Amino acid sequence: MASGTSSPRGQTSAVVAGIGSATGGSNTSIIDSRKNWVANKWVGSQVQILKLNGNEYFCNILSNTDNQINFAAIPGGIVVNAGDLYSILATNDPSGAKLIRWGRDVAPDWTHAAEVVAPGAGAVLVTQAVTAGVLGYIYGFFIACTEANSFLVNWTSATVAYSKRMVFGAAGSMEAIDNVAFNEGLPADAGSNITITNVVAGAALQVYQACLLYAEV
């Protein structure tokens, strides 16, 4: 194995935060025109370069643009060519672990709502507003009620209304969390609201509560 500017051997905290195939490059850079990274997102991490001849190089990332990673010169004048494979090893930046856990650089938070007694049909149990200029993703929910009912997780994507129904055959609670967003491929519109509503009016004295696990990009 050929070595680059540094090697991650012994760095047990390194995680593979991204992989790809170069569309171009140089002695100090990898270009992947298919990417759209945040500028300098990978500073402090390392890139593993696998040449088509099988040689492997590890380089400390100095900076990056939306589609180019920059590093100190690879010893021996080695140049990155189109088709060379690479892996980004996130060591100092926790975003790599986020990418593996959630599929994107996010850390979802719970939106909690208070208990509601005997909510009406279609009553909103919890609301999460999507910030202007971003998209919203639902990674989980918690619903509890003291009687049977059905619930809808609601959002709007590209101005089209969507919902997913959760059916309770009896009193109880349900918590679901997934590393793939419930609305993957249909992100909630900026400035809209994500809600959980109950379908049938709650009976007198029956208690309901709902929460959303949410992230936005």
In the chain, count of helices (H) and strands (E)?
1, 16
SS (H, E, C) 91-109: CCCCHHHHHHHHCCCCCCE
Please give the structure tokens belonging to residue 1. 């194995």
Q: What is the pLDDT of residue 45?
A: 85
Topology (CATH level 3) of domain 109-216: Jelly Rolls (2.60.120)
State which residues of the chain have pLDDT below 50.
1-12
Q: What is the pLDDT of residue 1?
A: 39
Q: For 153-175, what is each residue's pLDDT tens digit?
A: 999 999 999 999 999 999 999 99
Q: What is the pLDDT of residue 137?
A: 97
Q: What is the pLDDT of residue 94?
A: 55
Q: What is the pLDDT of residue 14?
A: 59
For CATH 2.60.120.1380, the residue range(s) in the chain are 109-216
For CATH 2.40.30, the residue range(s) in the chain are 15-102
Q: What is the pLDDT of residue 138?
A: 97
H runs (alpha helix) in 1-106? 95-102
CATH of 15-102, one of 2.30.29, 1.20.910, 2.40.30, 1.10.3470: 2.40.30
Order of strands, sheet of 193-198, starting from the edge strand that comes earlier in the sequence = 124-129, 193-198, 149-157, 160-168
